Structure formats: structure tokens, C-alpha cells
């Protein structure tokens, strides 16, 4: 029974193949890298894995005597992007996140634009024109 996500399993196999680490060493090193970055093998996503491959895993591999650590991690990043569906995924930039948040929290421009309804869906009381007394 596998204990990791699909991306974890694929990267662990590739790490074993490229680094000449044993299966146990490759999986253990990858688990440590994920844990240091705050991820779990069972639910790591391709995007999260690329962050780990770029930042956390190379120093760990160097400590374990893997000389080409940076190149191996780079190759695995390419593998993840190409085979795990990231090559066509749109990049989530901070600008897009804040624009989406802004659209979700922006009040309507005029009360009549939404048919006089409040955010709860109830009709709101919209006062009519003010009449002067005695006219």
C-alpha cells in the first residue's frame, strides 16, 4: 500500500534512479525535505513538490553525498511540471489572488444595481426623494 501521493511516489522513484540512493534513503530524504517545508507525503501537490525540489531538497542531498543535487532536483522539477499537469496550469500570482479577493468583497456601485436587495437577499428600504413640508 502506498503511503504517499502520486507526485511523492513519482519523485521518490526518480530520486532513487538519478541519485543512486537506495529506495529507503531516497524516500526518507524526500520525507525529511517535505516535513521541513511543512508538507506531508500523502497530500503534497505538484506545485508544493516543486517548491521542495527547488529549495529544501538540494541541501539535504548534498549532506548525503549526492554531488549533482541541484541538477537532479532541476530535472525532477521538469518531470513534475510536465507529467503532473502543471505545464498548462495558470500561475497563481499575488495580483490575481488580490484581484479575486477584491471582486468578492467589493460592494455594489449603487443600491439599485442589485434590485434593492441586501447581501442576505432581503429587500432593503430605499428612501425616495425628500419632500419639503408645505410644498
* 65-118 pLDDT, tens digit each: 999 999 999 999 999 999 876 544 455 566 665 666 676 665 655 555 555 555
* Amino acid 83: pLDDT: 86
pLDDT score for 46: 92
Residue whose grid cell is 521541513: 36
CA distances from 93 to 48, 96, 98, 112 (A): 15, 5, 9, 34
- Between 134 and 35, the more confident residue is 35
Give me the residue label for grid cell 539535504. 60
**Cβ-contact 43, 9 below 8 angstroms:** no
- Residue 15 corresponds to which cell in the numbers above? 530520486
Amino acid at each position: 500500500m502506498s503511503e504517499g501521493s502520486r507526485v511523492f511516489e513519482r519523485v521518490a522513484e526518480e530520486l532513487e534512479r538519478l541519485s543512486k540512493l537506495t529506495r529507503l534513503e531516497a524516500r526518507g530524504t524526500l520525507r525529511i525535505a517535505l516535513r521541513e517545508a511543512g508538507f506531508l507525503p500523502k497530500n503534497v501537490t505538484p506545485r508544493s513538490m516543486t517548491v521542495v525540489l527547488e529549495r529544501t531538497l538540494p541541501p539535504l542531498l548534498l549532506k548525503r553525498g549526492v554531488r549533482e543535487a541541484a541538477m537532479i532536483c532541476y530535472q525532477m522539477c521538469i518531470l513534475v511540471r510536465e507529467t503532473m499537469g502543471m505545464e498548462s496550469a495558470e500561475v497563481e500570482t499575488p495580483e490575481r489572488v488580490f484581484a479575486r479577493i477584491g471582486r468578492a468583497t467589493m460592494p455594489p456601485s449603487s443600491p439599485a444595481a442589485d434590485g434593492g436587495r441586501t447581501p442576505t437577499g432581503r429587500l432593503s428600504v430605499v428612501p425616495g426623494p425628500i419632500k419639503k413640508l408645505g410644498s
